[in-house]
Each structure stands twice: as C-alpha cells, then as structure tokens.
C-alpha cells in the first residue's frame, strides 16, 4: 500500500485529511535469542517493512483507533485511558500514550486524536509487528505531547523503553527491550550490537558480498503471550537465584562458558539448568558472531547461527516442528551458510544467510520439504535493512 493510498483511507475513515504520518520498522534478529531479558547482547537489524501511523487532532477529547489490518475500531475517552479487554489491538498504542504521561509528567495530552494504522509486517511472523506499532505511537505522541530529549540517541532509547513498558503493562508479555530498540535505533545496512543490561550499543555494518539475508515465514503463528515465554523468564530467574548461592550474579549473561562449568551443578531444577545453558552459550556465540562479521568471516557467522538454532531447539525448547523443519531443510542446501529461528519462537520465521546463486534453489527445496512435512506453504523475503522510526510527513 502506498502512502497516497493510506492518506486516502484516512480521509474515507474520518472525513478529513491526516495531519502527520510516521513509520517504524519491524526487525529480524540475526543472533542472540532470549538473551535480552537475561542481561545479554543481541544483534538485530531494522527491516524495510513495518507500521505506519496517520493522525489528526479532533475536538472530542476521544482517541479513535482504526487499522487497515484489523476490523475492530475503538473510541477511548482521553480521561479514561486504561487497558482494554479481550486482547484489544489498540492496547499496543494506548499503553504507549499512558506510559508517556507517567514517565514524563510534563508531557500533556491536550486533545483527542483520530488515528489510522497500517502494517505490512507479516502477521504472526515473529518480526515484531507489535514493537513497530508501539514505537511508531511513542514517536508520534512524544511529539504531540511536547516531550522530546534533545539528544537523539537518548530520545530513541526512551522510545524503546516506552514500547517495552507498554508490552509489559498492556499486553502482559515480560519481554526484553530488543524489539523496540531495533525499531527505534535501526540504521540502514547496519545491525545493532546491543547490551540489553546497560543499553550500550554499536551499529555494525552488514557487508555481505554475494550473500543475502533471507527470511522464511513458516505461517505457523508464534504466540508470545501464550505463557511459554513468561515461563522461560521465570525459569531463568530460578537459575540466577540458585547460582547466586555460590556466585552472586544479577543476570545469566554475566557468566562465561568457563564460569558455567563451575556453577551448573548448583542448579537443582533440570529445566532451569537447560534454559541457563542456552543463555550462557548464546551470549558467547553472539559476541563471537559480531567479531566474525567485523572481520568479514561470514562462514563462521553462519556456523554460529546454526549452532544458535540447535541450542534453542534442545535447551530452550522454543522451536517446534515447523521451525525445525524449516531450518533443517535450509541446512541441506549448498550455498546456505547458516539458518536459525528468529524472534521469540513457538512459530514465526527463520533467518538464513544464502549465497546469491543459491537463493532460488533454497526457496524451491525448503518450500517443497516444508510443505510436504507440515502441510503449510511458506513465504520467503529477501531482507532489506532499513532505518529506525521516523516522521514522514
């Protein structure tokens, strides 16, 4: 859908022109999965697809929510902002407006607004459609409510934190900050090496000569709020508590693989031990992968991606039949350097490094094997790495 078509849709919905338009991208994580809420580093990049928001003030002291992707519409009085029932999609936006007011009391919501959202992130793909919606709302309403940090880097970090708080309080998902951070701080043709504990980060050029990042959609929707995600947060916390009896730590990411060998024996819960084993290994893999990319060693980077999937399958148990089938089929293709699930898991997408000359073979083989084994037809996207949230008009 073009921006002209979005503007026309806004006029048809509200009988007036939109005053402003914003865009925020989805993301794909190249490596570093389920490390973010464990204080570790991640390595995501922003994508060229995401979420758009068009808005105009109204005189009714009401927030009206419409989406070109969802049939439900909502009308919420400005004086009565609170979570809406039945997993209402507007919560991902409403929560951001509420949290801006609470984090920044000087920010004032002095008008009602008519809002129209559109997203082209594949639904349920694990590419952070919710984070894109949160960050685009935070960007728009910090401006509308006259709050903005003069330091752009700090401002974009705050947008990410607003989106994360919304996810916690309005969606009930105790996620880390990676998704929102990538959406806010993305940079074209760069990935973000982010320390999720300190929020220090580095933009690392993604130079892949003759190689493409290919995202494969299982069309088995992931369900981050199904409880399994929050279970793993709790299991990691259990591991931290037991390890701290012999080695005080705040996060699992503080442990090196050598440390792990010394402390793993104190974890009495076998499930918590498996979860912690993944996190410690994934933190080390991510650090090595970033260095490999900087050195131009794409072969090693791909090997580490594949190792990441195996750990997510065996220790963290967040892959499942669809993602495993997709990744295992990819590993069979000559010209694939590495392939792994990306995102929270339980469905969604894989991300693969594929040589240019192997892309069509990759699509044909992975598509055939996946459809035969699951009955589902996948989609493939050659990823373009884009910039973070911005105002378009």
Catalytic residue among 36, 98, 114, 179: 179
Give the Å distances, CA to CA, from 24 to 50, 103, 149: 6, 21, 18
Residue with tokens 């970033």: 290
Residue 152 annotated as catalytic: no
Alpha-carbon Rg for the chain in angstroms:
21
Please tell me what DSSP assigns to residue 189: T
Beta-sheet pairing, 112-119 with 62-67: parallel
Q: What is the Cα–Cα distance from 246 to 361, expressed in whole angstroms?
A: 51
Beta bridge mates, 25: 50
Beta bridge mates, 355: 211
Residue 54 · residue 21 · CB < 8 Å: yes
SS3 387: coil
Planar angle of CA 63, 66, 70, nearest 5 degrees: 140
From the list 390, 340, 378, 382, the residue with the least C-alpha distance to 358 is: 382
Catalytic residue annotation:
179
């Amino acid at each position: 859908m073009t921006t002209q078509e979005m503007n026309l849709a806004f006029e048809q919905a509200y009988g007036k022109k939109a005053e402003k338009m914003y865009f925020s991208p989805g993301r794909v994580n190249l490596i570093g999965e389920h490390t973010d809420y464990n204080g570790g580093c991640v390595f995501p990049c922003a994508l060229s697809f995401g979420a758009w928001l068009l808005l105009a003030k109204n005189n009714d002291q009401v927030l009206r929510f419409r989406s070109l992707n969802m049939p439900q519409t909502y009308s919420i009085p400005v004086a009565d902002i609170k979570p809406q029932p039945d997993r209402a999609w507007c919560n991902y936006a409403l929560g951001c407006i509420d949290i801006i007011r609470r984090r920044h009391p000087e920010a004032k919501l002095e008008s009602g607004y008519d809002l129209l959202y559109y997203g082209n992130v594949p639904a349920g793909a694990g590419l952070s459609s919710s984070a894109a919606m949160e960050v685009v709302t935070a960007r728009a309403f910090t401006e509308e409510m006259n709050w903005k940090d003069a330091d752009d880097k700090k401002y974009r970090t705050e947008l990410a934190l607003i989106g994360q708080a919304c996810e916690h309080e309005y969606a009930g998902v105790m996620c880390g900050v990676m998704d929102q951070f990538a959406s806010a701080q993305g940079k074209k043709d760069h990935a973000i090496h982010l320390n999720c504990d300190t929020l220090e980060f580095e933009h690392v050029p993604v130079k892949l000569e003759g190689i493409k990042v290919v995202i494969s959609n299982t069309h088995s929707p992931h369900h981050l709020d199904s409880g399994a995600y929050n279970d793993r947060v709790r299991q990691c916390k259990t591991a931290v508590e037991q390890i701290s009896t012999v080695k005080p730590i705040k996060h699992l990411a503080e442990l090196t693989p050598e440390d792990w060998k010394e402390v793993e024996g104190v974890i009495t819960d076998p499930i918590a031990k498996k979860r912690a084993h993944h996190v410690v290994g994934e933190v080390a893999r991510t650090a090595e992968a970033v260095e490999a990319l900087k050195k131009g060693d794409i072969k090693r980077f791909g090997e580490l991606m594949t190792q990441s999937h195996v750990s997510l399958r065996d220790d963290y148990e967040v892959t499942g039949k669809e993602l495993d089938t997709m990744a295992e089929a990819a590993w069979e293709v000559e010209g694939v350097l590495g392939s792994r699930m990306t995102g929270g898991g339980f469905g969604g997408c894989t991300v693969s490094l594929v040589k240019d000359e192997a892309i069509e073979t990759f699509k044909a083989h992975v598509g055939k094997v996946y459809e035969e084994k699951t009955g589902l037809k996948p989609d493939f996207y050659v990823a373009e790495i884009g910039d973070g949230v911005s105002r378009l008009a």
